[in-house]
Amino acid sequence: MARETPRIGLSSFPADRGGSVMVEVALFVPAIMFLLLAGVTMVNAVMLVRATDRAVALIADEFSQRPAIADADIDDALTAAMGMTGTGGYPLGLRLDIRAVEITPDATSLLWSRSRASGGSACAPADAAFSAPEGGYSGSGVLYLLQVDLCATPGVGFYLAGALGAAGFTAHGRAVAIGRTAALRALN
């Protein structure tokens, strides 16, 4: 008589495998979604940094060429910066600092400084880049510089905004322009 080989449950193998696949999917899909959302957050952060740099350069160039500067112009600059740095309609916190500096061969002096903030910005006031003359400056002329600092804090619309906030992420931009008119000496 021929011996029968015992069956070791091969007929039930596909049914058991379906359950284990669902467990693996349940474990890996959240990890994959987290990586996807983290990638979107990083792309938005890079876009925010680039937009902040472009906005601050544009504001510095615009203010350095104006024939007159008023306090209302700084409010308008903050509104423009809000429009230029907005990424996908996400709310941002912005802080704009503008300083006019006079540099002579002997000394550096701050002529005026204004700050504006909106959207609950977590940015600290920017420090002055030109607190003392550095290097050699020869001649009898006076140099007028305009320093513009813009700081942007991502709002709640960013994915993983809590993680960015806990890490203290802010996008900073600084531009310095040479004053081309006498408007930098005093605000109107």
> Average pLDDT, stretch 94-122?
83
Edge-to-edge strands, sheet with 92-103: 108-118, 92-103, 143-154, 171-178
- For residue 87, is pLDDT > 70? no
* pLDDT value of position 186: 77
Reference 172, options 62, 111, 85, 43; nearest CA is 85
Across the chain, what does the average pLDDT equal?
79
Long-range contacts (CB closer than 8 Å, 24 or more residues apart) made by 182-187:
183/66, 183/67, 183/68, 183/69, 184/64, 184/69, 184/100, 184/111, 184/144, 184/146, 185/100, 185/102, 185/111, 185/144, 186/111, 186/112, 187/69, 187/70, 187/71, 187/112, 187/114
Lowest-confidence pick of 2-6, 38-42, 101-105, 116-120: 2-6
> Average pLDDT, stretch 34-55?
88
* pLDDT value of position 81: 87
Q: Which two tokens stand for residue 187?
A: 């605000």
pLDDT band at 53 (very low <50, low <70, confident <90, very high): very high
Residue spans of the domains in the chain: they are: 23-184
Lowest-confidence pick of 2-16, 61-75, 101-115, 163-177: 2-16
Q: How far apart are CA 27 and CA 47, in angstroms?
A: 32
Q: How far apart are CA 144 and CA 69, in angstroms?
A: 14
- For residue 73, is pLDDT > 80? yes
